Amino acid sequence: MAESDAGPDVAAPDELPVALTDPAYREAVVDLLAVIAYGELSAFERLVEDAKLAPALEDKLALAQMAGAELAKVQPLIDRIAKLGGDPFEAMAPFHEALDEFHAHTAPADWYEGLVKAFVGDSLARDFYREIAAYLDPDTRDLVVSSVVEGNHAAFAVDHIRQAIASDPPLGGRLALWGRRIMGEALTQAQRVAADRDALTALLVGGVDRPGLDLAALGRMLTRLTERHSERMAELGLDA
Amino acid sequence: MAESDAGPDVAAPDELPVALTDPAYREAVVDLLAVIAYGELSAFERLVEDAKLAPALEDKLALAQMAGAELAKVQPLIDRIAKLGGDPFEAMAPFHEALDEFHAHTAPADWYEGLVKAFVGDSLARDFYREIAAYLDPDTRDLVVSSVVEGNHAAFAVDHIRQAIASDPPLGGRLALWGRRIMGEALTQAQRVAADRDALTALLVGGVDRPGLDLAALGRMLTRLTERHSERMAELGLDA
């Protein structure tokens, strides 16, 4: 029997929630978990790289610990993709280019740009995954929401950036521009992924037989994401 | 009162085990915890750097997870140093040079050199800390031993190296030399630390009023470390 031949890590179809027995939905979920997993993994690598810019060992450790928190979220996503019958590393491949380009175009020039990127980039990803969670079956939703849960590191970033701007006000102008660039690059790459990955896009905008967001609702979602980004920039003491 | 002014993170002297009320011993323990902490932190950074050499994303993730396991051990060491009244980051400073030089002199040229270094370097550190644990008070001993506990990643390194040598036997000769270089560099830097840090050395060789290892016992410890290194190289299919 095919189910048992597939090995112990793959769930038999009758063990899956009903929603996941639909191949198109399952494909979309594998895409989603894969883009989150590769997002966490690439964020880990970049944060460790950016930690080299830290002014002190204590700051470097704090950023490394933010990175470690991202890394720890990868394995549960990989396990779930395998359970759904996907190959986790093949599933991540279509997202390498968009995420690698995001990071290549937002390489921080100094420690504070790195901190702003860590805080803003991570928060943006979290907001987006929470938005998309509304369109998921409960099991997948729980996994996605738990994999984007906030660590206690945001406060570190906010404190350090606010202090730095207080003692060097022109830094605020530069970091405000930097925050806009991160947001713009994130939107560019997200659009690219949406254009390439039909199953994932169908999850949001609906398919032939599945309700989804209409264009107006999609617009409102983007507005919410942008508003939250502005609130975060304000929290840092920056204009969005 | 000075004890309460020192803040909630610092233990009052009467809360410490008797052994740690001896300032010379406490200084040695702070040194030891600091060199382990900086060792884990620098191992984390280097493993992530070396993970860039991975032939596939799956391999990169495995090495990143080994790195993450090292990082997770840092915070408990830092917390203990603070509890003993030390400044964790100041305490690590004297060990930067030796550990940074160790890594600079053992930068792997390819993925397999990186794997051998991860496996051999981590195992060597673990053996040494287990040896030194015998000279510690029980609380410190537990912390040191738990911070060097082996993850499930050694099997990954051993499997991959053995497979690679099986399909490319000349690689075995190169990696055998490489293993010797790592061992030699570790001994060089350990000797340097021993020469610089009197309190730490006194822990091993004894002080004016404290028994320690005599030179013969120290020699036997080095022999044991070298023997275990040879066993590990044999496990990899390499001559030590």
pLDDT tens for residues A72-129?
A: 999 999 999 999 999 999 999 999 999 999 999 999 999 999 999 999 988 888 888 8
Closest alpha carbon within chain B to A90? B57
Structure-model confidence comparison of residues B197 and B2, the more confident one: B197
Structure-model confidence comparison of residues A52 and A151, the more confident one: A52
Cβ atoms of residues B59 and B160 within 8 Å: yes
Residue A5 placed within a domain: no
Cβ atoms of residues A142 and A77 within 8 Å: no
pLDDT digit string, tens, across residues B163-185 = 999 999 999 999 999 999 999 99
Range of the domain at A172: 17-235
Which residues share a beta bridge with A210?
A207
Chain B neighbors of A68, CB-CB under 8 A: 68, 71-72
Chain B neighbors of A52, CB-CB under 8 A: 45
Minimal CA separation from A88 to chain B, in Å:
9
Residue A179 placed within a domain: yes
Q: Distance (Å, rounded) from C-alpha B24 to C-alpha B209? A: 11
State yes or no: pLDDT of A237 exceeds 60: yes
Which residues share a beta bridge with B207?
B210
Residue B240 placed within a domain: no
Which residues share a beta bridge with A207?
A210
Chain B neighbors of A45, CB-CB under 8 A: 48, 51-52, 64
Classify each residue of B125-162 as buried b or exposed e, where b means 16 or more C-beta atoms within 10 Å of its C-beta: bbbbbebbbebbeeebbebbeebbeeeebbebbbebbe
Chain B neighbors of A63, CB-CB under 8 A: none
Residue A3 placed within a domain: no
Q: Which amino acid is at A202?
A: A
How many residues in total does chain A contain? 240
Among A206-215, B128-137, B157-166, B201-210, name the one with the lowest average pLDDT: A206-215
Residue B53: other Cβ atoms inside 10 A: 17
Q: Distance (Å, rounded) from C-alpha B183 to C-alpha B187? A: 6
Cβ atoms of residues A162 and A171 within 8 Å: no
Chain A neighbors of B45, CB-CB under 8 A: 48, 51-52, 64
Average pLDDT of span B25-35: 93
Which positions 44-103 of B are in contact with A (Cβ < 8 Å)?
44-45, 48, 51-52, 56-58, 60-61, 64-65, 68, 71-72, 74-75, 78, 89, 92-93
State yes or no: pLDDT of B8 exceeds 80: no
- Total structural domains in chain B? 1
Q: What is the CATH number of the domain that holds B227?
A: 1.20.1260.10
Contact B51 A45 (CB under 8 A): yes
Percent of chain B with pLDDT over 90: 54
**What's the pLDDT at B152?**
62
Contact A45 B64 (CB under 8 A): yes
Q: Is the dihedral of CA A36, A37, A42, A45 positive or negative?
A: positive
Q: Which of B214, B174, A138, A179 is nearest to A187 (CA)?
A: A179
**What's the pLDDT at B3?**
44
pLDDT digit string, tens, across residues B44-86 = 999 999 999 999 999 999 999 989 988 999 999 999 999 999 9
Minimal CA separation from A212 to chain B, in Å:
33
**What's the pLDDT at A205?**
72
Residue A89 placed within a domain: yes
Distance between alpha carbon A79 and the CA centroid of its chain, in Å?
18
Structure-model confidence comparison of residues B169 and B20, the more confident one: B169
**CA-based end-to-end distance of chain A:** 57
Residue A136: other Cβ atoms inside 10 A: 21
Contact B89 A58 (CB under 8 A): yes
Average pLDDT of span A190-215: 75
pLDDT digit string, tens, across residues A53-81 = 999 999 999 999 989 988 999 999 999 99
Residue A1 placed within a domain: no
* Rounded-to-5 percentages of helix, strand, coil across chain A: 80, 0, 20
Predicted complex: ipTM over 0.95: no
Residue B32 placed within a domain: yes
Average pLDDT of span B88-102: 96
Mean pLDDT of chain A: 86
**What's the pLDDT at A231?**
92
Residue A230 placed within a domain: yes
Closest alpha carbon within chain B to A57? B89
Task: Name, in order, each residue with C-beta under 8 angstroms of B144's C-beta and a sequence gap of 6 or more.
Answer: B32, B33, B36, B129, B132, B133, B136
Interface membership of A194 toward B (CB under 8 Å): no
Alpha-carbon separation of residue B96 from A173, B38, B144, B207 (angstroms): 36, 7, 19, 25
Q: Which of B221, B169, A218 is nearest to B161 (CA)?
A: B169
> Tokens 């029997």 belong to which residue?
A1
Minimal CA separation from B211 to chain A, in Å:
35
Q: What is the phi-psi region of residue A142: left when phi exceeds 0, alpha when psi lies from -120 to 50, beta otherwise?
A: alpha
Structure-model confidence comparison of residues B122 and A216, the more confident one: B122
**CA-based end-to-end distance of chain B:** 57
Average pLDDT of span B14-25: 80
**What's the pLDDT at A3?**
44
Which residues share a beta bridge with B210?
B207
Cβ atoms of residues A3 and A12 within 8 Å: yes
What's the burial of A80, exposed, middle or buried (CB within 10 Å: 0-12/13-18/19+)?
buried
**What's the pLDDT at B133?**
84
Residue A44, φ and ψ in degrees, nearest 5:
-55, -55
Residue B4: other Cβ atoms inside 10 A: 9
